[in-house]
Amino acid sequence: LHLFSFLDKNSRRSLAKTCHKMLEVFQDPLLWSLLNFYSPVELKKDNFLLGPALKYLSICWYSERVKVCNIEDWMKNTFQKDFCNRHENTVSDFLLDVCNRCPNLLSLTLSGCGHVTDDCILLLLKSCPNLKTLKLENCVRITDQTLEAVTLYGTSLRTLHVDFCRNVTQTGLERVREKCPLVMLRAERSANMIPDTKPDKKLMLEKASRKLVQL
């Protein structure tokens, strides 16, 4: 078990295929208290186990393709929409499994997961009452509804990051600070960013006017 702990997920799976004893070690819950993923494709592989032993989970997608997911829906062309449709529910479906199998989760980090919604985070907060750390970075569908869910169900939460989440507002952040004074809140370049809504003509004129004034 100690030797297995030094291996990555693929190597663990390969070693587990060599004999029954190695398979038993691979299936030991103690081996799977921490999981790191670096693309949605990895979530579909059969090289890890989800269970009550999982304490620390990280899904960080830093590929250039993340930029496509972060484009406002109303601005995406047909090719971009087709690309997103192929993996739109991958992370959310995986997190639903986490909700069902990993009630002892302590820390969750999501970066570049542009299709994760407020409902998904709400369910996770309800299902994992011991969650102490929630870090969301560049998750564009996250809004003040997630912040509200934190005030209601994040009773164990002590660290909350919503960096580059452009659809949270200053009002939502202030509510978390008011209702959850023990939570260390960070929102780098979030509330002051342009939200993910299609601007109407009036708003576009206002922006143009502000630019002229700056010039």
Residue 179 has φ and ψ, to the nearest 5°, of -85, -25
State pLDDT tens for residues 83-127: 667 777 899 999 999 999 999 999 999 998 888 999 999 999 999
User: Which phi and psi (to 5°) does residue 11 adopt?
Assistant: -65, -40
Q: Which distant-in-sequence residues (6+ apart) come within 8 Å of 12 by Cβ?
A: 4, 26, 31, 47, 48
Among candidate residues 91, 84, 81, the one with its CA nearest the CA of residue 42: 91
Bridge partner list, 133: 107, 159
List of E strands, the chain: 34-37, 56-60, 107-111, 133-137, 159-163, 184-186
Q: Which residues in 30-43 are b (16+ Cβ under 10 Å) and which e? A: ebbbebebebbebb
Entry pTM = 0.83
Please state the rounded mean pLDDT for residues 195-201. Answer: 56
Mean pLDDT, range 146-154, rounded to an integer: 97
Predicted local confidence at residue 212, as pLDDT: 47
Compare 209 and 107 and report the one with higher pLDDT: 107
Q: Give the full edge-to-edge strand order of the sheet including 34-37.
A: 34-37, 56-60, 107-111, 133-137, 159-163, 184-186
pLDDT higher at 37 or 115: 37
- Cβ partners under 8 Å of residue 17, min gap 6: 23
Task: Kindly report the average pLDDT of the chain as a whole number.
Answer: 87
Q: Has residue 197 got a pLDDT over 70?
A: no
Enumerate domains of the chain plus CATH numbers: 1-31 (no CATH), 33-213 (3.80.10)
Side-chain-side CA neighbours of 55 within 13 Å: the count stands at 5
What are the phi and psi torsion angles at 67 (to 5°)?
-60, -35
